[in-house]
Amino acid sequence: MLPQGHLSVSALLLVALALAAAVDAKHQAREGYVLVKTNGRSVPGADDEGEVGSGGWRKMKIKDNKNWEAKSQGFEVEPDWKLQISVTPNDPAWSSISATMNKIQAPLAWDIHTGSSTVTVCVIDTGIDLSHPDLVGNLDVTDNHLNAIGGSTISGTTITGTVGLTADDDNGHGSHCAGTIGGVGNNGVGVAGVSWGVKLIACKFMDSDGSGYTSDATDCIKWCRSKGAKITSNSWGGGGSSNALNTEIGISNAAGHLFIAAAGNENTNNDVTPTYPANYDQANIITVGASDSNDNRASFSNYGATSVDLFAPGVSIYSTYKNGGYAWMSGTSMATPHVAGAAALLWSLAPQLSAADVKAKLMSTVDLVPGLSTSCVSGGRLNLLKLLQSVASESVPTPTPTPVPTSVPVPMPVPVPTPVPVPTPVPVPAPTPLPRSVPRGNGRGTGRKMAM
């Protein structure tokens, strides 16, 4: 019998799955796996497949549910939720709708600043096309990461120099997001991202179908943080609540990093029906909804007066794609990288800002529009120009000129002529007659030695 107040790992798993099914049938978990907070204890009846993130969670493969239920107790356990990209297919119903950089006044913002590689954005997604001509200039191709995909056993393996393991995008979604964040600008090729010069790195945890798991997403956050990425772009969701994932985002919060998250594409109110990771209660999360070209909430976009922070263009967005291509896509997945790129642009212009400062400025400089007034906390849509203007004067201070003393003319002295002395006549004595036998002189004067 178990101590009162404790459930076995399997029992907790069953409860968690039952609750998830009751809330939303879309939630799916990795079969045969759970995440367990072990607190240093061994878990009988399961294979330990390694640490997940930095919060003390581990991924366990269940050997035998019945034996495990009998032997295990007192552990905190949760499903390894299945997560998916937050993209909506660009079907003909949206073909006439276009959201462009002009909507957020990006061209005018670029007159102030176009971005810098001093800020790194980690795209946690399906990977990035590592050889795309419009991305490679900003992409650190030597420092990308592949986490476990489809239940494989390569979690935590760095792909640099490893044959067969690659963070290259086989879906297209991650490359599309990367192009919006930091497609190389002013290069005569394809598109320009929000931040032309940002440094991009990729952590691939979703497969060619656009699906991955909580455990691998959690590891990606840890990896991105270890690589110095101050911003992660997260255009995915769909699983139930995960303490493991929430804890890892909180660790990034404490480290001063921003987590930009898609609000979701179910046309639901996140205040009422939470979606994760967007709804975790962490100060560093910026949740983004999708707006259309008329500054209305996109028909598919989730919303929430207290749970969605701001909106950005997310309908018919043209950006980079896999295999060196380009594509039109729609979704809160497309809105999220606009904000990730904006955060990078602002931070490279004003590196003295904290993560909280960047978030506050993103929200306080939106365009307030009627169509979004009750759909998010800020009541508006991203405006890149206003964002940069809010710090431009303080980021590049005008030096105070050193006072130059006014010159007062000094009168030139009037030369006073030096009087020429008049020689006093010296009386010449009368010559004494000399005897004839004495010569008159040798003919040489005394002379004066001349200085050379």
Q: What is the DSSP letter of 238?
A: -
Catalytic residue among 10, 54, 333, 378: 333
Q: Which amino acid is at 43?
A: V
Contacts of 79 (CB under 8 A, 6+ apart): 13, 16, 17, 20, 29, 30, 34, 35, 214, 239, 240, 242
Contact 55, 65 (CB under 8 A): no
Helices (H), 304-370: 332-349, 355-364
Q: Which two tokens stand for residue 50?
A: 């390694």
Looking at residue 265, what DSSP letter applies?
S
Return the structure tokens found at 285: 């999360």
The 3-state DSSP class for residue 117 equals coil
Q: In angstroms, rounded to a whole number, what is the distance separating the alpha carbons of residues 100 and 123?
A: 21
- CA dihedral (212, 213, 219, 223) in degrees, to 10, reads 20
Which residue in 258, 10, 33 sits closest to 155, CA to CA?
33
In the annotation, is 333 catalytic?
yes
The one catalytic residue among 72, 80, 113, 125 = 125
CA distance 298 to 307: 17
What's phi and psi for 261, nearest 5 deg?
-125, 145
Q: Whole-angstrom Cα distance, residue 221 to residue 83?
A: 14
Q: Are the C-beta atoms of 81 and 38 separated by less than 8 Å?
A: no
Out of 173, 176, 257, 338, which one is annotated catalytic?
A: 173
Would you mind telling me the total number of residues written for the chain in this entry?
452
Active site residue 299: no
From first CA to last CA, the distance across the chain in angstroms is: 119
E strand spans, 73-165: 76-85, 120-125, 145-146, 157-158
Q: Is 33 helix (H, G, I), strand (E, B) or coil?
A: strand
Kindly list the distances between the CA atom of residue 309 and the CA atoms of 113, 239, 339, 382, 440, in Å, as whole numbers in the listed order.
24, 20, 11, 10, 122
Concerning whether 113 is annotated as a catalytic residue, the answer is: no
Provide CB contacts within 8 A for 126, sequence distance 6+. 85, 169, 170, 171, 172, 173, 174, 175, 204, 206, 207, 208, 210
Write the single-letter amino acid at 18. A
Which active-site residues does the annotation give?
125, 173, 333
